[in-house]
Amino acid sequence: QVNDRRILNGVFAVCGVPESKFIPACSTVDKLDKVPWKEVRSEMVGEKGLSPEAADRIGEYVQLHGGLDLIERLLQDPKLSQNKLAKEGLGDMKLLFEYLTLFGITGKISFDLSLARGLDYYTGVIFEAVLLHQENEHVEEPVSVGSVAGGGRYDGLVGMFDPKGRKVPCVGVSIGIERIFSILEQRLKASGEKLRTTETQVLVATPQKHLLPARLKLISELWDAGIKAEMLYKKDPKLLKQLQYCEDTGIPLAAIVGEQELADGVVKLRDVATREEVRM
């Protein structure tokens, strides 16, 4: 979802909100993704001191969402097009959507006038990444799982810490790592799949003691052939421990070289899941 703070401020201005109430109005609009407009409106009037007329006018705008067509429509809007800030924001939003069209990703982007991002240091474009999932095929609208990243442009923030107060244009984003992890964990649980934390294709194993050189020689050959292989870096690990390591980490194959295999010039390849073995 994308919006622009200048568009929001322009909306507040043309709806008759005094400038001192832009930020409180903004933080109330930001709740629209969680509560219905009726509740947002009553907070605007009851707690933030906006007139009912101003709140109703704001409601006509902040419930709109779309793409280039909506931007074009708002650029023609008799009230908004007269507001300098809103016009600037809409111009930039149009440019952004032209770039998004070139990238072929407009289907994943919604220009959403209810997006406000509660913080007051944003000066331009603001955005949130929202994860959607379809409950079932009959659902018209995908259901939002919630915001997993958010950010925007803040051209005045860095300058606050500069003695000369220079303007430093910045765009930032923060990613909700914990939320993404919890969603991944839920998905994994639902699918019943085991998560592999390694790309290793084969574990080189030995069943007897004093065979570290055989392991090193074989793993070197596998690496040279571009095969992702690893071994336990203990001098004489027990075979059971090595096979257990494969099961724990999801390594699909074990290449076993014991005294007999060395004498016969073969390697025993074991499918960890099925426990089938072939000599080659």
pLDDT by residue (tens digit) across 74-112?
999 998 999 999 999 999 999 999 999 999 999 999 999
User: What's this model's pTM, rounded to 2 decimal places?
Assistant: 0.69
CATH superfamily of 2-191: Bira Bifunctional Protein; Domain 2 (3.30.930.10)
Report the pLDDT averaged over residues 232-259. Answer: 95
How many whole angstroms separate alpha carbon 205 and alpha carbon 214?
9
Q: How many CB atoms lie within 10 A of CB 67?
A: 16
| Mean pLDDT for the stretch of residues 113-136 | 84
pLDDT at 19 over 90: no
Average pLDDT for residues 160-181, to the nearest whole number?
Answer: 91
Residue 164 has pLDDT above 80, yes or no: yes
Across all residues in the chain, what is the average pLDDT? 90
Q: Give yes or no for residue 124 having a pLDDT over 60.
A: yes
pLDDT for 140: 57
136: pLDDT strictly greater than 70: no
Rounded percentage of the chain residues whose pLDDT exceeds 90? 62
Cα separation of 56 and 4, whole Å?
21
Q: Which of 1-10, 183-192, 196-205 bottoms out in mean pLDDT, i.e. has the lowest? A: 183-192
Residue 31 has pLDDT above 90, yes or no: no
Domain ranges for the chain, please list them. 2-191, 202-279
The whole-angstrom separation of Cα 126 and Cα 115 is 8
Which tokens hold the place of 221? 């050959």
Question: For domain 202-279, which CATH number applies: 3.40.50.800, 2.70.98.20, 3.40.50.300, 3.40.50.1000?
Answer: 3.40.50.800
Q: How confident is the model at residue 138 (pLDDT cuts 50, 70, 90)?
A: low
**Spatial distance between the Cα atoms of 169 and 125, rounded to a whole number of angstroms:** 12
Of the segments 75-84, 159-168, 263-272, which one has the largest average pLDDT value? 263-272
Task: Name the region of 92 (left: φ>0; alpha: ψ -120 to 50; beta: rest).
Answer: alpha
